[in-house]
Amino acid sequence: MSDKDTALRQQAMSEIVTHETTVSGDPYRLSFHHMPPVGLMNDPNGLIQWKGEYHLFYQWMPFKPDHGEKFWGHYISKDLVHWKHEEIALAPSEWYDKDGCYSGSAVSHEDTLYLFYTGNVFNDKGDQEEYQCVATSTDGVHFEKKGPVIHVPDGYTGDFRDPKVWKQEQKWYMVVGAKNQNSQGKVLMYESDDLLQWEFIGPIAGSNENRLGDFGYMWECPDVFELDGTDILLVSPQGLQPDGMKYNNTYQTGYFAGELSFTEPSLEHGAFVELDRGFEFYAPQTFIDNKGRRIMFGWMGVPEQMEQSHPTVSSKWIHCLTVPRVLEWNGEQIIQSPVPELEEMREAVLLHSEITIENDQKAIRGIEGRPIELQIDFEQLDDQFAIELFHYISFSYTKRDGTLTLSRPHLEDKSQTEFRRTVLHEELNKLHILIDTSSIEIFVNGGKEVFTSRMFPQPEDEDILFTSLGETTFSIEQWKLSGYVYE
């Protein structure tokens, strides 16, 4: 480890100690979502289950609640509920990553853990250069940097990042997000026999590829995997313009489903589908665990989207990750659900059966507070149903056109209201809602649609109100949640 690397780690730890009281005193600190100890958290990285433990790395700027020269922070868990916050995995200390150890992934090979990440550099002219780099570890905690293994190919710009690596039969493959010299976002594929020597085999998807047409100037955080025989490309394209209910965040995240050819290379795919309909969701990554489950974490944030208007900035921190979610393919779309291990956080259940509300707004005895989990099953819904949480954020369903709507105060102009909407192509029958101190994740009809967002109500407000136009009958279960346990 270089002297600069050691110094950066010491400086980061000093920031944690200096601001510990300010950060921990913030009422918006979360109970069961990963946050930075200080500064800014963004993309989940290096997700893997290795030697029986789940490893979750994350992008981290410890010196300010804003973007900059990123580190890799590190959490480890045996069960996705009990977590240890490990020492820093990567620091931006070398010539090839001095302006940030950007996003990447992890694989295991011959009893060694490999981290692939993007080394970010601004050269003497101020131009961005990005390299795909590797670091290795035999204990899962201490990593030795091996330096760059891939440089920008001809025809592409310095926007070249976020390597995701996996093994297919006897070959290793990597996809990288890129922008070509015509400002078209692409996903590039590489192959390798040994994880160190890589051959560029071409773009598999992107703007103006595979009959897609113009679709953004940069594709970030690509992830390729199979779900029940269908190949999925998960990606975060930048540069999409709003289109009715679609693409209303600053940058979007979604997936293409189809069939991947490794010889062409090409992904023959269908339409782009937004993975999450909320205000804050970006840069997700997946992995397979020892149970064969495809598990995903996402970043509960969006780059350049009113970030400095989050009230936690004044407490020296910003952003968090989603809960881990299991992904499944139902033959038509991805279905998302919280990992069942989270049920360990539940306290005693409160159940109300056959509640009927008609043209009224009501509270329901005991249904209140944070953090909680709600399961709502609908028996009858004539017209419109809504939940208002803490006089701040509202979620509604209109039966006549199937519209789901999430609304909250605009983060910059609180006299205005923001909306995120989509159409549910079947009747609403179930809501599963995870509510933390300053976040909400809503799973609709078993995870066919999901809304993920931050929320910043008055800390003391515990009210949850239910509204029905026409008659609505439903049952509701509530659990108070104990939260993650940290060592």
Please list the active-site residues: 43
436 burial type by CB count under 10 A (0-12 exposed, 13-18 middle, 19+ buried): buried
Q: Which residue type is seen at 329? A: W
What is the Rg, in whole angstroms, of the alpha carbon atoms belonging to the chain?
22
Distance CA 298, CA 252 (A): 12
Strand-pair partners of 130: 120
Q: Output the CA–CA distances (angstroms, integers) from residue 85 to 34, 89, 121, 486, in the order listed.
A: 10, 11, 28, 7
Task: Please list, residue by residue across 150-165, b when 16 or more beta carbons sit within 10 angstroms of its beta carbon and e when fewer do.
Answer: bebeeebbbbbbbbbb
DSSP for 393-408 reads EEEEEETTTTEEEEEE
Sheet with 325-329: strands ordered across? 282-288, 294-299, 325-329, 334-338
The answer to whether 137 and 143 are in contact (CB under 8 A) is yes
Tokens 């009715």 belong to which residue? 244
Distance CA 456, CA 451 (A): 16
Whether the bond into 65 is cis, omega within 30 of 0 = no
Q: How many CB atoms lie within 10 A of CB 99?
A: 18
Q: Which residue type is seen at 374? A: L
What the block records as the tokens of 468 is 């029905």
Estimate the share of the chain in helix, then strand, then coil, as percent rounded to the nearest 5. 5, 55, 40
Closest by alpha carbon to 387, among 370, 400, 374, 402?
Answer: 374
Helix (H) or strand (E) holding 15: helix 3-18
Q: Phi/psi of residue 270, each to 5°?
A: -90, -155
